[in-house]
Amino acid sequence: MAEHGLSYLIEYDNRRILFDTGQSDMFIKNAKTMNVSLENIDMIVLSHGHFDHGNGLEFLFGLTLVCHPECFVKRYRKLDHTYIGLKNSKEELSELFNLITSDGSYKISEKIYFLGEIPRLTNFESKNTTFVLENGNPDFVMDDSAIVMILPEGLFVVTGCGHAGVVNTLEHAKRITGLNEIYGIMGGFHLKDIDLQTRETINYLKANRIKHILPSHCTTNPALKFFHETFKSKQVKTGDVFKF
């Protein structure tokens, strides 16, 4: 089954990491359908505090949860003031999990890092937002983060939505690890149209000769079509398994 949301199970470096949980218990049902065990999860990593990435947390307990400290702010759509933040408060999740918040990078293992807050350095990413905070100020989702894994072939980055921008995220992964070779990126790229941001992102991915490029979730059809035409990128669907 599918819903608007994202949840990946990452197995690497003797770790089993649940990266986001979607907006319901659908990830649990899908795991059962796939005969994938959710037992012995070492850690949950929350990419950012949006309902479609973290509301499934209420169906789990007793695990370590890693996220940015600003994941728990009240946030809304600017257009109609629909609430889009997490269902559960920081206090409630602290009772369910061993909660670790970090705005800096957090070392999960020798070869896996949570990136923490991603600096917005490019001149074409994260310049506009359709979200607002409870006080009415623009919400640029500063808690947006990702995971980087160090593979023999280079860095592999997994994003949730990529609100910080794909290029900003990959450059931060380089800084955190001290490595420059990027092997792959997978997840939400938050690209909607064939605009400056999409074109500059593709130019960067080309220049870095990245082998595996797998946009999904909040990347809409015009951008997905452009990625497929450029990289022959595979469409990521619910239930897919990728091995690298």
Predicted local distance difference test score (pLDDT) of residue 227: 95
- Amino acid 112: pLDDT: 98
Report the mean per-residue pLDDT for the chain: 97
pLDDT tens digit sequence for 80-125? 999 999 999 999 999 999 999 999 999 999 999 999 999 999 999 9
Residue 19, CA distances (Å) to 27, 43, 53, 171 in order: 11, 9, 9, 21
Q: Spell out the domain ranges in the chain.
A: 8-231
CB 47 within 8 A of CB 144: yes
Which pTM value belongs to this model?
0.97
pLDDT band, residue 196 (cuts 50/70/90): very high
User: Any idea what the Cα angle at residue 224 is, between residues 219 and 226, rounded to 5°?
Assistant: 135
Distance CA 133, CA 78 (A): 9
Give the C-alpha separation, 192 to 126, whole Å: 13
Q: What is the pLDDT of residue 235?
A: 83
pLDDT(182) > 90: yes
The CATH class of the 8-231 domain is alpha beta
Measure the CA–CA gap between 96 and 160, rounded to whole angstroms. Answer: 22
Residue-wise pLDDT tens digits, 152-179: 999 999 999 999 999 999 999 999 999 9
